[in-house]
Amino acid sequence: MVLTMLDAAPPRPGWRDRRRDLAGYLLVPLFTLIAAPVVACCAALLANDGGPYPEVCEPVRAVNGCEEEILGIAAGHILVAAALWLLLWLLPWWRGLRLVRIVLAAIAFVALTTLAIRIS
């Protein structure tokens, strides 16, 4: 087994710890990709009041613009969540960045969940 300088060096405190965190690097984005849409769908089901139209469609209901309104809202939330998800993969796999990776995943969760709550 060959040790590199990063493996042999003692761990540095905080965000400067550059030891490998391959499990966190792979599992956090994959968990976000799988669990965030499921949580968002469950939130939409719980927030549904059973009405024929969502409340965000009231201003454009007279001109039949509900679909465009919902697609505009969805596009914004999905773009934010997708950008954050891609940023999870762009972060290096250092152990010191584990907290940053978890915070970005939580923000992506919130972006998709608020989409479901706003639309229902």
- What digits encode the pLDDT tens for the residues 61-90? 889 888 899 899 999 999 999 999 999 889
66: its two tokens = 């509900």
Which one, of 28, 3, 42, 40, lies nearest residue 97 by Cα?
28
115 vs 53, higher pLDDT: 115
Asked whether residue 14 is domain-assigned, the answer is no
How far, in Å, CA of 98 to CA of 23, rounded? 10
Domain that holds residue 113: 19-119
Asked whether residue 1 is domain-assigned, the answer is no
pTM for this entry? 0.75
Asked whether residue 7 is domain-assigned, the answer is no
Asked whether residue 11 is domain-assigned, the answer is no
E strands along 8-59, which residues? none
Which pLDDT belongs to residue 46? 86
Burial 68-90 (b: 16+ CB within 10 A, else e): ebbeebeeebeebbeebbebbee
Asked whether residue 8 is domain-assigned, the answer is no
User: DSSP secondary-structure letter at 91?
Assistant: S
List pLDDT tens digits, range 9-44: 566 666 577 788 888 888 899 999 999 999 988 988
Rounded mean pLDDT, 96-109: 91
